Amino acid sequence: MAPKSLRFRILISFGLVVMAVATMIALLGYFVLQRDIIERAEAAVLRDLQTARKFYEDEIRRIGESLEWILGTELNGQFSEKADLDYVAVVSLDDMPKCTNEIVLAAFEEKQGAGGTRMMGLGELETLDRALADAQHIKIKSTPMARPTLKTELKQVLVKEYAVPMLSEAGEVQKVLYGGRVINLDFQFVDRIRNLVFGSDLYDGTPIGTVTIFQDDVRVATNVLDERGERAVGTRVSEVVYTAVVEEGQVWHDRAFVVTDWYKTAYEPIQDIQGNIVGILYVGILEQPYNDLAGNILIMFLTIVAGCALLAVILSMILAMKISRPLTEIVKATTRLSEGQLGYEVDARTQMKELNTLAIAFNGMSTKLKAREESLRISNDKLVEANQSYVHLISFVAHELKGVLASAVMNTYSVRDGFLGMVNFKQRKAIDSVARNLDYLTNIVRKFLNLGRIERGELSVNRTSVKLWGDVFKVSLEALSMLAERRSLKIESTIDEALEVQADLDLLQIVANNLVSNAIKYCQPQGQVTLTSRAEGDVVRIEVYNDSTPIPEAQKVRLFQKFSRLETEETRREKGTGLGLFITRQIIEAHGGTIWVQAQEQGNSFIFEISKGASRG
C-alpha cells in the first residue's frame, strides 16, 4: 500500500469536525456580533471619552503644580523650560487693570489658583514666545460633510493654562504667575491620551483608536490620519456634530465619518473658564475591525475554536503514535548536528511521504553543512594569515620610515634655521615646503604605528589621574598654535581646569591632537574653534567645535571608518589619511566611552564622553 500524505490524513479528520460544528457557528455568530460586540464598542467609547477628559483636566492641574513649584524660586526666563511649559509670565498689580486674561483675573479675584482652557490670539503668543507663535499657522482644509466656511487660516490657538497668585504676608495679591502649554500641534499630548486609552496599534495602516482636540470645528491636535497618511491637522468636524456639540453644548456619540474612515465616536464640548465653548474633545474607535469581525465571525468565534482545539488535541494524539518514532529520530539527529557531528544522517524510509521528504532534505542539509564548515575553516585560516601579514607589513614599514624621517626632519630644520649656514629667502621658502611635507609624512607614520597597535590588539589603557585641560588639551593647543595663527583662527576654550579623569595620558593626547588638529585644518579661514566641557555625575563630555560646512547625516557613518575621508570643500584643500578619527574612536571606546559628530547651523561639533573613574572600559 502506497504511503498516504500527512496532509490527507489531517484534512479528513478536521473535515469531520468542521461539518459537525458549522451550524452552531452560523447561529451563534449573529447574536454574539449584534448583542455583544457592537454594544460593547459603543459603551467603551463613552468610557474612553471620560478617561480622555480626566487626563485633559489632570494636565491642567499638573501645570498648576509646576507653577506652585516656580513660586518657591526666583523668577527668570528659564522656568518655562524647566517646568516643561511652553510659556511662563507674571502680571504685576499695576498691569492688572489692563489684563484681559480671564484665568489670570480669576486667580487675582479669588486669591487662589485657577486653570482651564483659553483661546489665545497669535499676537499675544508672539509676545510670550515668538518662535512658538511662528510655528502655529494652521491652514483650514476643505473637509467632506463639514459646514461651509470662508476662513482659510486660524488666527488663534487653544492653550491649557493655569494662574497662581503671589500673596503678601497680609494675604493680598502682589502678582499673578501664569503659564501653560499650547494645544495646537501638540501631537505628543493627544498621542499620550490615545496610548493610555487605546494603545498605538494600527489596523490596515489606520489607528484603531484616535483622539482629537478641535479649536471651534478645526482639528489642531490629532492622531487621525488623512489620505496621505499625515496627521489631519486643519480638517474640520462634520456639520451634524458641530451643531450638537458646539451650538447646543451636548455630548454626541454615534457612528461618524472622520476625515477618511468611519468610527464609533464620542464628542464633548471644551469650555473656557467662563463657560464659553471654545473647542471639542473627541475619541473614536475604528469601525472597520468590527465590520471585518462580522464578516469573519464563523472562523473567529472563541467557543468553536476551543471545541475544535480540543478535538485537534485528541486527533493529534492518535497521529502522534504513528509519526513519533521517525520524528524522534530527526530530533536526535538535529541534536547531534548542533553538537558538531556534521554529516549525520537519518533513515528516510517511513510510511508517510512528508516524513520521507523531510528526512531526505535533512540528510542533504547535513552533508552541505559539513562541506560548508570545511570551506569556511579553510577560508578563515587564509584570512587570519593575510591579516597577520597586513599587520606586520604596516608595523615594519612604519618603523623603518620613522627612523629615516626623524633624521630627515632634524637635518631639514637645521638647514632651515641656519645651523648649517645662512640660507636666502628663496632657499628658506623651498625648505619650508620640504619641512611641511616631512611633518605630514611623520604624522602619517605615527598614525600607522597606532593603527598597527590597534590591529594587533595591543591598545592597552594605563590609567592615571589626568587633568583634561592642563595635561591634554592645553598641550595640543600650544603645539598647534602656529597653524591656527597662519589661518587667522580664533581659538576659545572653556574646559574646566579642575576637571580630572582616570585615563591613559598618552592615548588621550592622541585624541586631543587629532580633534584639535582637524578642527584647525578644516575650519573656515578667520573662523572660530571652540573647546567646551561638561560633567554630569561620573560622565565627562568634551566638545570640539569649528566653523565649517555642516556634515550631512548620510556621510556621518563614514567619518570614523578606516581610510575614509569626506568630500567637502574643506577636506579637498587638506591632505589626510583617513586614520585619525578611526584611531580616536578606538581610543575612546577602549576607555569605555563614546564619540560622535553633531552638525550645527554653521559648523560641526565632535563630542566624546568618558567616565571620570576607572570602572568603565
Domains of the chain and CATH, by start: 35-297 (3.30.450.40), 459-611 (3.30.565.10)
C-beta pairs of 194-202 under 8 Å, 24+ apart in sequence: 194/223, 196/51, 196/55, 197/48, 197/51, 197/52, 197/283, 198/48, 198/285
Positive/negative CA dihedral, 13, 15, 21, 25: positive
> By CB neighbour count within 10 A (0-12 exposed, 13-18 middle, 19+ buried), where does 377 fall?
exposed
**Other CB atoms closer than 10 Å to residue 389's CB: what's the count?**
10
Residues (pLDDT < 70) of the chain are 1-35, 73-83, 258-259, 294-295, 297-306, 308-331, 333, 337-340, 342-348, 350-352, 355, 362, 381-411, 413-418, 420, 425-459, 563, 567-578, 614-617
pLDDT at 584: 86
Evaluate whether 465 touches 500 at the Cβ level (below 8 Å): yes
pLDDT at 387: 55
> By CB neighbour count within 10 A (0-12 exposed, 13-18 middle, 19+ buried), where does 129 fall?
middle
Evaluate whether 67 touches 162 at the Cβ level (below 8 Å): yes
Which of 518, 529, 541, 530 lies closest to 608 in space, CA to CA?
A: 541
C-alpha 556 chain-centroid distance: 17
Q: How far apart are CA 207 and CA 226, in angstroms?
A: 11
pLDDT at 304: 66
Evaluate whether 580 touches 518 at the Cβ level (below 8 Å): yes
Evaluate whether 52 touches 193 at the Cβ level (below 8 Å): yes
Residues in the chain: 617
pLDDT at 479: 82
Q: How far apart are CA 98 and CA 264, in angstroms?
A: 46
pLDDT at 182: 96
Q: For 364-420, how does the pLDDT look when each residue is reduced to its tens digit (9 = 90+)?
A: 777 777 777 777 777 776 665 555 555 555 554 554 555 555 566 666 766 666 676
What is the crossing angle of helices 38-71 and 187-197, to 10°?
130
Q: What is the dihedral of CA 118, 123, 128, 129, to 10 degrees?
A: 110
Q: What is the pTM (predicted TM-score) of this model?
A: 0.46
Q: How far apart are CA 531 and CA 499, in angstroms?
A: 14
Q: Which residues contact 131 (CB under 8 A, 6 or more apart)?
A: none
